[in-house]
């Protein structure tokens, strides 16, 4: 059978997983969590959605991209047998989110690995959260088939989408497609709260021309969409790459602020 969750359209079946390692003839990651924490909403990062609140953040395993700088590669590059998981039914997770309401919790964020390869679990949990008046948040690479993405949007309150580059070649190198990500940003911006993150990597996506082009695209969707410019640190397969210079980040901040209302620098201290 063919998986239709992301544009890879992998052939899957019993004993055979897709590229993401999380989907076979069944969604292998359904209800299987590797990570759970109560985080500040700003950590997602979402600075303009219920600022000052907390959100119960959960992750599973697998990803449909292969970013050599991934900071969560121990789970995002892993399959079911390579990580320790804990079963968490949708109703159990919803009840847990309610339990943390006194601590300022507003709902659940699906994050840490790519949540949309676990589409069915995100959908089913989000339905229950919405019934209880709780928020559903996505932290996603946006590389999912647009039909699946649009079908999920009525259940999602907010998301941070990782716009890794505005260069199609950059996305091709990590196994993705810029056109799909841009299409999903456009769809989400009209349906829920959206913020974007760009991780600046020396010599990879840090040219001023690229930042101007990225800013132009975001502004064409809406100049009110917040952009988080995040600092690269050596990780995973990029241990030999230097961390992003603060001067570079500030220069990009200046470029982005010419057309965008909300621009934030991350990890500069």
Domain ranges of the chain: 32-266
Fold annotation for 32-266:
TIM Barrel (3.20.20)
Global pTM reads 0.96
Mean pLDDT, range 80-107, rounded to an integer:
98
Structure confidence by residue, pLDDT tens digits, 194-235: 999 999 999 999 999 999 999 999 999 999 999 999 999 999
Give the closest residue to 139 by CA, choosing from 255, 69, 39, 23. 39
- Total Cβ atoms within 10 A of residue 240: 6
Mean pLDDT, range 98-114, rounded to an integer:
98
Token pair listed for 264? 């934030």
Q: How far apart are CA 87 and CA 63, in angstroms?
A: 19
Q: How far apart are CA 133 and CA 184, in angstroms?
A: 25
Q: How far apart are CA 6 and CA 145, in angstroms?
A: 5
Task: Give 223's strand partners.
Answer: none
DSSP run (H or E) holding 108: strand 105-110
pLDDT band at 13 (very low <50, low <70, confident <90, very high): confident
pLDDT more than 70, % of the chain = 99
Q: Scanning the structure block, which residue is given the tokens 């055979």?
A: 16
Cα atoms found within 13 Å of the Cα of residue 25, Cβ hemisphere only: 5
């Amino acid at each position: 059978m063919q998986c239709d969750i992301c544009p890879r359209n992998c052939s899957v079946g019993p004993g055979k997983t897709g590229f993401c390692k999380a989907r076979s003839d069944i969604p292998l990651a359904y209800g299987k969590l590797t990570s759970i924490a109560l985080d500040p909403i700003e950590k997602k990062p979402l600075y303009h959605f219920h600022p000052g609140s907390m959100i119960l953040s959960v992750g599973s395993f697998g990803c449909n991209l292969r970013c050599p700088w991934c900071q969560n590669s121990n789970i995002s590059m892993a399959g079911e047998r390579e990580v320790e998981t804990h079963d968490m039914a949708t109703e159990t997770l919803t009840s847990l989110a309610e339990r943390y309401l006194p601590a300022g919790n507003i709902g659940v964020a699906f994050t840490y690995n790519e949540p949309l390869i676990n589409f069915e679990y995100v959908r089913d949990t989000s339905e229950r959260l919405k019934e209880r008046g709780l928020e559903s948040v996505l932290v996603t690479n946006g590389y999912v088939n647009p039909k699946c993405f649009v079908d999920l949007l009525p259940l999602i309150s907010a998301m941070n989408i990782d716009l890794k580059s505005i260069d199609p070649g950059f996305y091709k190198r990590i196994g993705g497609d810029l056109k799909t990500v841009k299409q999903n940003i456009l769809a989400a911006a009209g349906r829920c709260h959206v913020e974007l993150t760009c991780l600046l990597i020396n010599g990879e996506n840090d040219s001023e021309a690229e930042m101007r082009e990225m800013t132009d695209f975001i502004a064409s969707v809406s100049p009110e969409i917040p952009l988080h410019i995040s600092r690269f640190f050596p990780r995973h397969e990029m241990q030999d790459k230097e961390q992003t210079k603060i001067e570079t980040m500030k220069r990009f901040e200046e470029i982005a602020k010419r057309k965008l209302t909300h621009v934030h620098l991350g990890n500069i201290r």
